[in-house]
Amino acid sequence: MSNYQLDYLDQLESEAIHIFREVAGQFERPALLFSGGKDSITLVHLALKAFRPGKFPFPLVHIDTGHNFPEALQFRDELAEKLGEKLIVRNVEDTIKAKHLTEPKGKFASRNQLQTFTLLDTIEEFQFDACIGGARRDEEKARAKERIFSVRDEFGQWDPKLQRPELWNIYNGKIHKGENVRVFPISNWTELDVWNYIRRENIELPSVYFSHEREVLEYQNQLIAISPFIQIDETDTIATRKVRYRTVGDMTCTAAVASEAYSVDDIISEIITSKTSERGETRIDDRVSEAAMEDRKRNGYF
């Protein structure tokens, strides 16, 4: 303390808390998008630091595709209850029925794109003017371009060519009716920063992040969990493997990695020596095209 030098994790933490409080100060109806994954769990932990002993000035909101890992859902519910914070869940299944949406077809069809419809409906239902999310700029090249306060139009669209300049630590959250701002407090964190922070702060996570035995389908060097949501063909190889998850999205589009990491320390050593990126190794949805993420974001994806 005496040399007044802040470690990089403290700097990132302080920046994120500052962003949270700006949201609380600037918006009337914000929400924290919470999936039960490590990034949004980290956000909840940072929100505790920003607002306790007060209540969060926003509810936790989960857009449930119906294809989530049961471990993550259980964790989501338990954490919200433990903290005494409000959790709103909206289901993609309901949107599909109400709007007669067509489910995507194919081998690893994912509801990733359909999630956007439910998210936009939820924003409209509750009139959310800001949605805080756990996206990081190191995840993907389109995300590397995104501002911390990212304005979306009334269709939820992101226009990467018309982003507001973002100067110093001053965030302009002014919007017209119907627009909303997506806010990313951990924009400047990397995957390793998140894990180092989880270790330092002793943050609890769903068990899927740690090595466990699971029945998986091996497909193009990726390991996909066997679940009722994937199509299994006769030619597919199914095996029981020791795996863990680097990211936790839908069971249909998130691949597991072979791993012997049972603790956060083990995971950190594994990431340091890993030769592939988090999304590259685990996300099937990013492989659709080179601009898959950008295109999804343009259409309102978070």
Partner 1 sequence: MDLLRFLTAGSVDDGKSTLIGRLLYDSKNILIDQLEAIERSSKAKNNGTVDLALLTDGLRAEREQGITIDVAYKYFSTPKRKFIIADAPGHIQYTRNMVTGASNADLIIILVDARNGVVEQTRRHSLIASLLNIPHVVVAINKMDLVNYSEEVYNNIVEDYAKVAQALNLNDVVYVPISALDGDNIVDVSEKIDWYKGSPLLEYLEEVEVKGNHNLVNARFPVQYVIRPQIDELHDYRGYAGKIQSGVYKKGDKVKVFPSGAEAIIKAIELNNKEVDEAYAPQSVVLHLEEDVDISRGDSIVKTDDNLKVSQDIDAIICWMDEKPLTIGSKYFLQHNSKVVPAIVKEIKYKLDVNELKKEYEISSASLNEVVEVKLKTASPLAYDAYNSLRENGGAILIDQTSLVTVAAAMLQ
Interface region with partner 1, contact rule CB under 8 A, candidates 32-40, 107-115, 207-215, 271-279: 271-279
Q: Which of 175, 174, 254, 184 is nearest to 214 (CA)?
A: 254
C-beta closer to partner 1: residue 4 or 100: 4
Single-letter residue type at 181: V
Cβ proximity to partner 1: between 236 and 295 the closer is 295
Residue 48 binds partner 1 (CB under 8 A) = yes
Q: Which range in 11-19, 32-40, 93-101, 108-116 contacts partner 1 by CB under 8 A?
A: 11-19
Residue 7 is a binding residue for partner 1 (CB under 8 A)? yes
Is residue 18 close enough to count as binding partner 1 by CB under 8 A?
yes
Using CB under 8 A, pick the residue from 74, 220, 269, 276 that binds partner 1.
Answer: 276
The reply on whether position 139 binds partner 1 by CB under 8 A is: no
20-28, 31-39, 100-108, 126-134 -> range binding partner 1 (CB under 8 A) = 20-28
Residue labelled with tokens 């505790």: 48
Residue 299 engages partner 1 in binding (rule: CB under 8 A): no
In single-letter form, the type of residue at position 83 comes to L
Q: Does 163 help bind partner 1 (rule: CB under 8 A)? A: yes
- Which of 91-99, 105-113, 172-180, 231-239 is the region at the interface with partner 1 (rule: CB under 8 A)? 172-180
Closest distance of CB 20 from partner 1, Å: 9
Binding site for partner 1 (CB under 8 A): 1, 4-8, 10-11, 13-15, 17-18, 21-22, 24-25, 48-55, 137-138, 140-145, 147, 160-161, 163-170, 172, 174-176, 187-188, 190, 274-277, 280-281, 290-291, 294-295
